[in-house]
């Protein structure tokens, strides 16, 4: 049929050429075609998913694909078709009235192809537009069962999850490594319905009341006139808002710390931020805060790395997550809770803990006051098959709750409960986004919601209302004890309508001081540097002065350091809260596992291939990732990549950049400008360096055998034992900065 149609079309073209007198085409003689790249000609069905693409929707942690997977893929049969399933014989040329004539409106294939393309984009998320996601599984250890009756917390229960990490301010195509808060949103497809834990990598927020959210986001987003800067807070409107709306100071402090530039999504903590209320089987309630603890520890980039990455590899975090999962280095997090009694304090006020108002989302509870108790572990084990279908279309909502988990009166959370459903309706084009494969609950759904844009369900029955007799009373109501969204009995004091906040929300500085005081000296230097950079990017002097005055309420020395960097007078001294410190907040001074770290192995044409091979294998065997850096691409030691004696080159001198590597092993030192930059950056960023080359070759880099974090070894076997202790502390913070860069 396709061939016949083609003949008809050709004939029509020839006729039209004759009628219109269409130019230089000789009737019946095909026009010469440009040489085309050869394409395989044997029809085959759609390719099966790659091993790391097992996360078909619906996803199964066992890898078993469910019956409607193929349907969800929408790629059936081996031939190209129209959207209506008619086979297409030519998708490279539109129908024309003659070869040189105008295009015909009747060409449905052309119009369908272009029209669909015209509508491929959907609005990006108003915040958190830039993200990366993965499938996985959460396994509960049973520790939460005494405080929460949710089935997903029962001992040994396994629940499928999808996680989306994100930045907040940037557009969908912005860089990953900008200084910003990171979103950490998890969808638990539980048997009792979907639970969404929509959190961040910072436990406090900028504002206390949802009504301020449009203000803080308008201030943080690019300026409305020029639409710059992209994806960052280093500009006047942000600091204008934060310096005037002082409850944002604590979150700003976290953002200026190393938490604002994570090394990897795999090395980030996550926080539910708000206080939630859990209910156990006996109907007793407790208040909790949720924490995600990464097995790889908490690590950050240094500021220069973040800036280099934004240009060299703006997808650093997205790539890192996908590569790790594809390589089988599945990232893991423990889920933990801090538990607080759901009682009133000595002043008769509820939701208070050691003087901290648990309803104030600008406050956190130090772990030293309430330990984080692990209640299960999440493993991310499959990459999405299709970014748009899964990562882009997933729709989170803090109101997606299961029996046993309830909200509190935190005024920020209360506003979020409205916002997320509302935003999906404009972002995903109507109220039926829950039917998209990634959003479908894995529990049976039997609602009475009907029709609407993009309805894909064939609902049966005649009575989508209750009570009814026509559908036999279906669907039935759950028993009073096993439904979700059941209000926990709470006493609300006789209240008057007010636009106000409790007095306990007035303290805007003490927790910023607590955070700052808990940092090591290096971390404090980073914080001062970040404020000095960000405020240095502001044009308005009065904004800088005002923010420096704000810092004086947190720590006067910090305020003076930043003022000096900005060329401003030191602010007046004001009283600063006397606070304890929380050592758990510091990222430095602890030891972390080295699993999944990326080790660059720098070689030259002259390097001993057997030694490189052995080194590569040793890195693999230690659950790390070796990346061999050579002068050119291809292989070392032969051309057959499968040969046991051959090493495949991962990066060339031109494609490598230091930001990717957690440590560098120099097998031989090249004489090359690109690798000179590599070594000087590894040195400056205080990363571990091991060398098999003599140390005197490094004299121009200011590097000696005594340089902290540098080891010189004689043979390949000695490299990892020397390197691993250095990786455990992440960086050699005691390494002095080079005299000149
Ligand atoms: Fe969000 N937030 N948010 N937020 N938020 C959205 O929902 C909003 C807040 C967070 O990967 C939006 O689907 C309001 C706190 C994450 O898809 C929107 C307020 C926390 C994500 C929205 C907050 C978050 C969002 C935009 C103040 C940490 C990305 C697109 C009342 C606990 C989820 C969307 C994903 C996304 C509104 C405050 C985390 C507009 C009104 C606090 C991780 O609905």
Q: Does 268 share its domain with 337? A: yes
- Rounded (5°) CA angle 429-433-434: 165
Q: Does 351 share its domain with 305? A: yes
179 assigned to some structural domain: yes
Instruction: Determine the distance separating the centroid of ligand 1 and the alpha carbon of 420, expressed in angstroms.
Output: 7
- E runs forming strands in 671-715: 688-691, 710-712
474 assigned to some structural domain: no
Greater model confidence, 31 or 215: 215
| Residue burial 186-223, b: 16+ Cβ < 10 Å; e: rest | bbbbbebbbbbbbbbbbbbbbbbbbebbeebbebbbbe
**With bands split at pLDDT 50, 70 and 90, how would you rate the model's confidence at 707?**
very high
What is the rounded (10 degree) CA torsion for 152, 154, 160, 161? 60
Among residues 120, 145, 172, the one where a domain terminates is: 120
- Tokens 């108790």 correspond to 373
Mean pLDDT, rounded, for 698-720: 92
Q: Does 553 share its domain with 626? A: no
Q: Which of 500, 303, 257 lies closest to 249 in space, CA to CA? A: 257
Phi, psi for residue 110 in degrees, rounded to 5: -60, -50
Mean pLDDT, rounded, for 678-689: 96
Q: Does 408 share its domain with 266? A: yes
Greater model confidence, 70 or 393: 393
What is the rounded (10 degree) CA torsion for 232, 525, 333, 183? -20
**201/180 Cα distance (integer angstroms):** 10
Q: Does 116 share its domain with 188? A: no
Instruction: Determine the distance separating the centroid of ligand 1 and the alpha carbon of 360, expressed in angstroms.
Output: 17
Token readout for 355 is: 């003087």
Q: Does 194 share its domain with 288? A: yes
- Tokens 């390097």 correspond to 607
Phi, psi for residue 234 in degrees, rounded to 5: -80, 65
Q: Does 404 share its domain with 425? A: yes
| Ligand 1 mutation target, pool 125, 127, 199, most atoms within 8 A of CB | 127
* 513-570 confidence digits (pLDDT tens): 999 999 999 999 999 999 999 999 999 999 999 999 999 999 999 999 999 999 999 9
Return the pLDDT at 627.
96
Closest CA to ligand 1's atom 7: 420
**With bands split at pLDDT 50, 70 and 90, how would you rate the model's confidence at 31?**
low
C-beta 400 within 6 A of ligand 1: no
| Ligand 1 mutation target, pool 125, 167, 182, most atoms within 8 A of CB | 125
Q: Which of 195, 241, 197 lies closest to 216 in space, CA to CA? A: 241
* 196-217 confidence digits (pLDDT tens): 999 999 999 999 999 999 999 9
Q: How far is CA 77 from CA 6, 70, 71, 74, 606, in A?
A: 21, 11, 12, 10, 51
Q: Does 268 share its domain with 187? A: yes
Closest CA to ligand 1's atom 29: 128
C-beta 613 within 6 A of ligand 1: no
182 assigned to some structural domain: yes
Greater model confidence, 418 or 52: 418
Residues counted in the chain: 741
The enclosing domain of 38 has a CATH number of 4.10.91.20
Return the pLDDT at 302.
97
| Domain count of the fold of the chain | 4
* 554-581 confidence digits (pLDDT tens): 999 999 999 999 999 999 999 999 999 9
Q: Does 165 share its domain with 95? A: no
Sign of the alpha-carbon dihedral angle for 412, 413, 415, 421: positive
Q: Are 134 and 160 in contact (CB under 8 A)?
A: no
**With bands split at pLDDT 50, 70 and 90, how would you rate the model's confidence at 48?**
confident
Residue 350 is classified by DSSP as B
Sign of the alpha-carbon dihedral angle for 209, 210, 214, 219: positive
Greater model confidence, 284 or 479: 284
Q: Which of 35, 319, 5 lies closest to 175 in space, CA to CA? A: 319
Among residues 541, 558, 585, the one where a domain terminates is: 585
149 assigned to some structural domain: yes
Please say if the pLDDT value at position 147 is more than 80: yes
* 6-26 confidence digits (pLDDT tens): 443 343 333 334 333 334 444
- Give the nearest ligand 1 atom to 273 CA: 32
Which value, in Å, is the radius of gyration of the alpha carbons in the chain? 30
Strand, coil or helix: 2: helix
Greater model confidence, 53 or 615: 615
Q: Which of 24-33, 138-147, 285-294, 712-721 has the weakest average pLDDT?
A: 24-33
C-beta 587 within 6 A of ligand 1: no
Containing 545, the helix (H) or strand (E) segment is helix 541-552
* 638-667 confidence digits (pLDDT tens): 777 677 789 999 999 999 999 999 999 999
Mean pLDDT, rounded, for 162-177: 98
C-beta 213 within 6 A of ligand 1: yes
Containing 651, the helix (H) or strand (E) segment is strand 651-652
Q: Does 31 share its domain with 107? A: yes
Q: Which of 171, 189, 193, 190 lies closest to 180 in space, CA to CA? A: 171
**With bands split at pLDDT 50, 70 and 90, how would you rate the model's confidence at 60?**
very low
Return the pLDDT at 94.
98
Q: Does 517 share its domain with 626? A: no
Return the pLDDT at 52.
63
The enclosing domain of 531 has a CATH number of 1.20.1370.20
C-beta 125 within 6 A of ligand 1: yes
232 assigned to some structural domain: no
Quote ipTM for the complex: 0.98
The enclosing domain of 690 has a CATH number of 3.40.50.880
Among residues 551, 585, 619, the one where a domain terminates is: 585
Q: Does 667 share its domain with 721? A: yes
Mean pLDDT, rounded, for 420-437: 97
150 assigned to some structural domain: yes
User: What are the catalytic residues?
Assistant: 128, 200
The enclosing domain of 160 has a CATH number of 2.40.180.10
Looking at every residue in the chain, the average pLDDT score rounds to 91
**With bands split at pLDDT 50, 70 and 90, how would you rate the model's confidence at 438?**
very high
**With bands split at pLDDT 50, 70 and 90, how would you rate the model's confidence at 440?**
very high
Return the pLDDT at 348.
87
C-beta 126 within 6 A of ligand 1: yes
Instruction: Determine the distance separating the centroid of ligand 1 and the alpha carbon of 306, expressed in angstroms.
Output: 24
Please say if the pLDDT value at position 272 is more than 70: yes
* 579-595 confidence digits (pLDDT tens): 999 999 999 988 999 99
Q: Which of 62, 66, 225 lies closest to 158 in space, CA to CA? A: 62
66 assigned to some structural domain: no
551 assigned to some structural domain: yes
| Ligand 1 mutation target, pool 131, 171, 198, 410, most atoms within 8 A of CB | 198
Instruction: Determine the distance separating the centroid of ligand 1 and the alpha carbon of 344, expressed in angstroms.
Output: 30
- pTM value > 0.90: yes
> What is the full DSSP assignment across 299-331?
-B--HHHHHHHHHH-TTHHHHHHHHHHHTT---
Closest CA to ligand 1's atom 38: 416
The 10 Å Cβ neighbour count of residue 497 is 5
C-beta 130 within 6 A of ligand 1: no
| Ligand 1 mutation target, pool 122, 123, 126, 128, most atoms within 8 A of CB | 128
Return the pLDDT at 53.
61
CA terminus-to-terminus distance, the chain: 70
* 319-340 confidence digits (pLDDT tens): 999 999 998 999 999 999 999 9
| Residue burial 672-695, b: 16+ Cβ < 10 Å; e: rest | eeebeebbbbbbbbbbbbbbbbee
Instruction: Determine the distance separating the centroid of ligand 1 and the alpha carbon of 127, expressed in angstroms.
Output: 7
Mean pLDDT, rounded, for 363-378: 98
- E runs forming strands in 152-303: 158-167, 182-190, 193-200, 270-271, 276-279, 285-294
Q: How far is CA 332 from CA 20, 250, 294, 507, in A?
A: 69, 28, 6, 36
- Give the nearest ligand 1 atom to 127 CA: 26
**With bands split at pLDDT 50, 70 and 90, how would you rate the model's confidence at 741?**
low
Domain that residue 364 falls in: 131-207+261-439
Greater model confidence, 670 or 638: 670
- 3-state SS track over 32-90: CCCCCCCCCCCCCCCCCCCHHHCECCCCCCCCCCCCCHHHHHCCCCCCCECCCCCECCC
Return the pLDDT at 643.
73
């Amino acid at each position: 049929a396709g061939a016949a149609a083609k003949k008809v079309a050709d004939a029509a073209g020839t006729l039209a050429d004759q009628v219109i007198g269409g130019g230089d085409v000789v009737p019946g003689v095909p026009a010469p075609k440009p040489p085309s790249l050869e394409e395989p000609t044997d029809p085959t069905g759609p390719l099966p998913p790659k091993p790391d693409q097992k996360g078909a929707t619906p996803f199964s942690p066992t890898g078993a694909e469910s019956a409607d997977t193929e349907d969800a893929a929408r790629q059936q049969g081996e031939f190209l078709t129209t959207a209506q399933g008619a086979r297409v014989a030519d998708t490279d040329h539109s129908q024309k009235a003659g070869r040189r004539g105008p295009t015909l409106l009747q060409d449905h294939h052309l119009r369908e192809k272009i029209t669909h393309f015209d509508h491929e984009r959907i609005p990006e998320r108003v915040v958190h537009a830039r993200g990366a996601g993965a499938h996985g599984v959460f396994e509960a250890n049973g520790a939460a069962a005494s405080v929460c009756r949710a089935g997903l917390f029962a001992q040994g229960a396994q629940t499928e999850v999808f996680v989306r990490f994100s930045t907040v301010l940037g557009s969908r195509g912005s860089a990953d490594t900008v200084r910003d808060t990171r979103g950490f949103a998890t969808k638990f497809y539980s048997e009792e319905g979907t639970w969404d834990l929509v959190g961040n990598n910072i436990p406090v927020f900028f504002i206390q009341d949802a009504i301020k959210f449009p203000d803080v986001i308008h201030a943080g987003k690019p300026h409305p006139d020029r639409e710059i800067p992209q994806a960052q807070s280093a500009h006047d409107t942000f600091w204008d808002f934060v310096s005037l709306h002082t409850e944002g100071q604590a979150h700003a402090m976290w953002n200026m710390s190393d938490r604002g530039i994570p090394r990897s999504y795999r090395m980030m903590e996550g926080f539910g931020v708000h206080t939630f209320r859990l209910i156990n089987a006996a109907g007793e309630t407790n208040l909790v805060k949720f924490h995600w603890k990464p097995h790889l520890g908490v690590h950050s980039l240094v500021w220069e790395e973040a800036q280099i990455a934004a240009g060299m590899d703006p997808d650093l975090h997205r790539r890192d997550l996908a590569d790790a999962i594809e390589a089988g280095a599945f990232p893991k997090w423990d889920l933990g809770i801090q538990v607080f009694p759901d009682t009133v304090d000595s002043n008769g006020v509820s939701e208070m803990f050691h003087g901290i108002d648990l309803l104030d989302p600008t406050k956190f509870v130090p772990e030293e006051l309430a330990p984080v108790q692990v209640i299960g572990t999440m493993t991310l084990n499959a990459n999405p098959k299709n970014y748009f279908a899964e990562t882009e279309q997933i729709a989170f909502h803090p109101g997606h709750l299961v029996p046993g988990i309830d909200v509190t009166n935190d005024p920020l959370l209360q506003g979020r409960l409205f916002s997320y459903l509302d935003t999906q309706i404009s972002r995903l084009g109507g109220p039926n986004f829950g039917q998209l494969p990634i959003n479908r609950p894995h529990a049976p759904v039997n609602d009475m919601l009907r029709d609407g844009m993009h309805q894909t369900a064939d609902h049966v029955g005649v009575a989508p209302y209750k009570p009814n007799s026509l559908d036999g009373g279906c669907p039935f109501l759950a028993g009073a004890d096993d439904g979700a969204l059941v209000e926990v009995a709470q006493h609300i004091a006789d209240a008057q309508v007010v636009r106000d906040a409790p007095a306990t929300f007035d303290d805007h500085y003490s927790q910023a001081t607590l955070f700052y005081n808990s940092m090591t000296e290096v971390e404090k230097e980073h914080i001062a540097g970040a404020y000095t950079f960000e405020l240095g990017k502001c044009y308005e002097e009065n904004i800088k002065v005002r923010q420096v005055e704000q810092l004086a309420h947190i720590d006067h020395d910090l305020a003076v350091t930043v003022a000096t960097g900005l060329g401003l007078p030191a602010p007046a001294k004001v009283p600063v809260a006397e606070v304890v410190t929380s050592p758990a907040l510091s990222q430095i001074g602890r030891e972390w596992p080295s699993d999944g770290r990326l080790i660059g192995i720098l070689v030259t044409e002259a390097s001993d291939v057997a030694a490189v091979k052995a080194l590569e294998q040793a890195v693999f065997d230690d659950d790390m990732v070796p990346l061999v850096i050579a002068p050119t691409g291809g292989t070392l030691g032969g051309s057959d990549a499968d040969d046991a004696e051959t090493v495949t080159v991962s990066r060339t001198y031109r494609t490598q950049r230091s930001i990717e590597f957690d440590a560098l092993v120099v097998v031989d030192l090249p004489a090359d400008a690109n690798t000179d930059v590599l070594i000087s950056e590894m040195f400056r960023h205080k990363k571990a360096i091991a060398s098999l080359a003599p140390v005197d070759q490094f004299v121009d880099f200011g590097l000696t055998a005594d340089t902290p974090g540098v080891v010189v070894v004689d043979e390949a076997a000695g490299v990892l034992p020397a390197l691993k202790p250095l990786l455990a502390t992440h960086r050699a913070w005691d390494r002095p900065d080079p005299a000149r860069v």
